[in-house]
Amino acid sequence: MRTSWSRRTAALTAAMATVLTTVVGVATAEPADDATELREASGRGLAANIRYTEYGVPHIKANDFAGLGYGYGFAAAKDNICVLADTYLTVAAERSRFLGPDAPGSSAYGSARTSLNSDLYFQQVNDSGVVQRSIAPQEPNGPRAEVREIIRGYVAGYNRYLRETGVRGIGDPACRGAAWVRPIAEIDVYRHFHALATLGGQGQVVDGIAAAAPPAAPSAQPAPVPADAADRVRAALGTKDMGSNAIAIGAAGTRNQRGLLLGNPHYPWQGGRRFWQSQLTVPGRLDVSGGSLLGMPLVQIGFNRDVAWSHTVATPTTFGLYQLRLASPTSYLVDGRAEQMTSRVVSVRVRNQDGSLGTVSRTLYSSRYGPMLAPVFGLPLNWTATSAYTIRDANQGNMRGLNTWFGLNQARSTREIVEVLSRTQGVPWVNTIAADQSGRALFADIQVVPHVTDELAARCNTPLGSAIFPSTGLTVLDGSRGDCAWGSDPDALLPGIFGPHRMPVLTRADYVENSNDSAWLANPHAPITGYPRIIGDIGTERDPRTRMGITAIEQQLDRGRFTRQSMQDLLFGDRSWIGEQAAADTAAMCAALPGGRAPTSAGGTVEAGRACAALSRWDRRMTTTSRGGLLFERYWLHVVQAFDGFPQVWRVPFDPADPVRTPHTLDTANPVLPTALGDAIAELAAAGIEPDAPLGRNHYVVRAGATIPVHGGHAVQGVLNMIIPTWDPARGDVDVVHGSSHMQVVSFTGGPCPDAVTLLSYSQSSDPTSAHHTDQTRLFSAGRWVRSRFCEHDIAGAPGLKVVRLRER
């Protein structure tokens, strides 16, 4: 039975009233951390000390894990209460009630176009009880005891902040006084993690799940397979607002012969998938520093005294489709026997235009594999008289990831990283790249992947599946055959997923890297092969960022071994791989245009002289002072848009025997190129932008009324410091959709204190009234980093150190 909002809030408020004592201490002078007092306070209830160093980074210390979560919840809410409250509004399926059914869904947790579709989707998840069932077991399939304690404390800390501030006292105008900001319960946090885990599967088809229904007048036959079906799927799956780079250098590649790590995730700058920095310490049991997605009270990308790790969005397809052969509109055949679909009437409250509340109910259906689907990805997945489609998500019910990140936080070597990944099997959709004190560099794609071998795919894919699987990894299997179910491995915790022994793992003494391509070229000197297609492709053209990363690493190794500073310079050098390959030839093509004018797709021509000069003088970088970089980026975006997949504009094609250097040599005779250049020139002219204007003049964000230039370049250019901007035809690039977010460079020294720097590009707080809303953004603009304070003497020596002592009985 569903608990109403008012009943749940009243119960939580009543529970808060039982708090006997609340003590808060704040100091700006250098404190002496009283371990005895903290230990005694922990024995009486929840207790945590939060020490804030430069740029609002909290170092949270507690005597137990509940206290650690308590401090984390309080500090995270202080910085980002509105974003967090919106998350809990979303996973509770209450957006339509407070924002209206036609308001946008939250892109942080799925593809829903409207709040109504979002609510219908999340309400059916909640009604199904999948989250409750997945947290019921003990580990390995349910959360371990320490994780449960952290989440219990997190909820208390979040609620304490809200209780002390009050909804009307919130500084951020985005939710100040909003009726949808409310206390939370532990189930909200677990639902949040489940939404993140399924983001790469069911989260991509929210609208398709919410709209699926047997048709009133079904057609007799399924639609034919489109000739461009694979292109449609690639386009749909290629619009994710996440990416990453990570580089681990081993002892053979560093000056001090110890491990060095660059972590550079490319996540949204707004919304629920923002990172937030912290250090988490329970003396003798945990001491880890890094970033985590908002509301996840564990470090997800970070380091401790012995090992550092990062993640990159991986290529395995974590879900699959099944085509059902129907026996009736709501039953289907498996091995000749009819099975009835399960149905559930899902009801959500909605705010009507006159402000009154109403209810929308919809019957949603599921098969043995998962929810039924309406057409998605541009594919003809129509529910007809004879067939229908359903989705199976390998991360459905995955709470194991919480144990994974707890284990990573405690790991002491890359070997232990592999052991944690293999034992917990909870990473939902990312690779892991790590380096340690001993100088080992690790790439591991040990994550949740459907157990679909190439043999199973060949035997069971439908014609649609056969058309799209080779190039996309997405299966459409025959749901009428029992032998087409996903397989199992003896070392897998659950049936239906690959065991760890099947997954790509590589440990090196020189380096490994990943920029969202498959495992194949984690190190080009030792290509990884032999894994199933669903995990990734082998022997195919690599993304420009992969080629830039490998080239930059090899060039640095040729010059000399890596240091922390040289790794920082590698990222913020802002080199454009495509610029280095194509700018000179493009400038020459431009100079040879008839009459000095470039054609446009609109049918006219534009004067090209100044653009030609800008391209010839451009430094092939995307720094804020680079002149001509914005012109080249707009030009190459038009080139890419003219093709499905990688642009076919090179004289020397891709060669799997030379995968980093090929393709190369721009074919300036290709008619796409001058037209793309003409369109870019016209775009800049319409926006009033000079072709040779410094990048930062028209490539920026506006925060709290101030314009902050942004360096970095679009993914299509192969710039490691990736920035995907918002293009305004009247002004240029005026905001960032996603890109470099929580960055860390960690060098191990042989001692207990890693030599590390970090940077959070969009700063700690989403609240425009906070002192930490733009401070790190300005650092990012200037190419500066923040010294990481990991050891006690570093924390105590921070200028302006502020200490908050939280106590609650």
Condensed to tens digits (0 to 9), the pLDDT of residues 34-87 reads 788 999 999 899 999 999 999 999 999 999 999 999 999 999 999 999 999 999
Q: Which of 786, 741, 755 is nearest to 435 (CA)?
A: 755
Q: Which of 566, 540, 543, 539 is nearest to 553 (CA)?
A: 566
Structure token digits, residue 402: 């919480």
Residues 6+ apart with CB under 8 A from 195: 90, 91, 109, 110, 122, 203
Structure token digits, residue 265: 């995730």
Instruction: Report d(CA 433, CA 445) in Å as an integer.
Output: 9
Could you tell me the pLDDT band of residue 366, with boundaries at 50, 70 and 90? very high
Question: Could you tell me if 806 and 75 are in contact, meaning their C-beta atoms sit under 8 angstroms apart?
Answer: no
Instruction: Give, for 126, the enclosing helix (H) or strand (E).
Output: helix 115-128
Structure token digits, residue 722: 């990736």
Instruction: Output the CA–CA distances (angstroms, integers) from residue 276 to 84, 286, 297, 428, in the order listed.
Output: 12, 19, 10, 20
Structure token digits, residue 101: 């059914």
Could you tell me the pLDDT band of residue 645, with boundaries at 50, 70 and 90? confident
* Average predicted confidence (pLDDT) for the chain: 95
Q: Is the pLDDT of residue 27 over 50?
A: no
Res 240: pLDDT? 75
244 is catalytic: yes
Could you tell me the pLDDT band of residue 21, with boundaries at 50, 70 and 90? very low
Q: Is the pLDDT of residue 3 over 50?
A: no
pLDDT > 70 in the chain, percent: 95
Question: Could you tell me if 320 and 373 are in contact, meaning their C-beta atoms sit under 8 angstroms apart?
Answer: no
Q: Is the pLDDT of residue 573 over 50?
A: yes
Q: What is the DSSP letter of 520?
A: G
Q: Which of 359, 12, 1, 404 is nearest to 183 (CA)?
A: 12
User: 166-173 — which CB contacts under 8 Å span 24+ positions?
Assistant: 170/81, 170/82, 171/767, 171/769, 171/770, 172/81, 172/82, 172/766, 172/767, 172/768, 172/769, 172/770, 173/768, 173/769
Residue of 118, 244, 576, 761 marked catalytic: 244
Q: φ, ψ for residue 392 (rounded to 5)?
A: -120, 125
Structure token digits, residue 138: 């003990």
Average pLDDT over residues 518-536: 98
Look up tokens 């002592």; give the residue: 805
Instruction: Give, for 117, the enclosing helix (H) or strand (E).
Output: helix 115-128
Res 470: pLDDT? 97
Could you tell me the pLDDT band of residue 28, with boundaries at 50, 70 and 90? very low
The angle subtended at Cα 381 by Cα 380 and Cα 382, nearest 5°, is 95
Q: Is the pLDDT of residue 590 over 50?
A: yes
Average pLDDT over residues 783-798: 97
Could you tell me the pLDDT band of residue 5, with boundaries at 50, 70 and 90? very low
Res 337: pLDDT? 98
pLDDT > 90 in the chain, percent: 92
Could you tell me the pLDDT band of residue 223, with boundaries at 50, 70 and 90? confident
Average pLDDT over residues 216-243: 85
Instruction: Report d(CA 739, CA 742) in Å as an integer.
Output: 10
Instruction: Output the CA–CA distances (angstroms, integers) from residue 690 to 594, 595, 599, 682, 711, in the order listed.
Output: 22, 20, 19, 11, 18
Res 222: pLDDT? 74
**259-293 confidence digits (pLDDT tens):** 999 999 999 999 999 999 999 999 999 999 999 99
Give the burial class of 385: count Cβ atoms within 10 A of its Cβ; 0-12 exposed, 13-18 middle, 19 or more buried: middle
Q: Is the pLDDT of residue 749 over 60?
A: yes
Q: What sections of 573-653 are H helices per DSSP?
A: 577-591, 609-617, 629-641
Instruction: Give, for 88, the enclosing helix (H) or strand (E).
Output: helix 65-91
Structure token digits, residue 81: 């209460």
Residues 6+ apart with CB under 8 A from 273: 108, 196, 241, 242, 267, 293, 294
Torsion-angle region of residue 292: left (phi > 0), alpha (psi -120 to 50) or beta? Answer: beta
Question: Could you tell me if 59 and 31 are in contact, meaning their C-beta atoms sit under 8 angstroms apart?
Answer: no
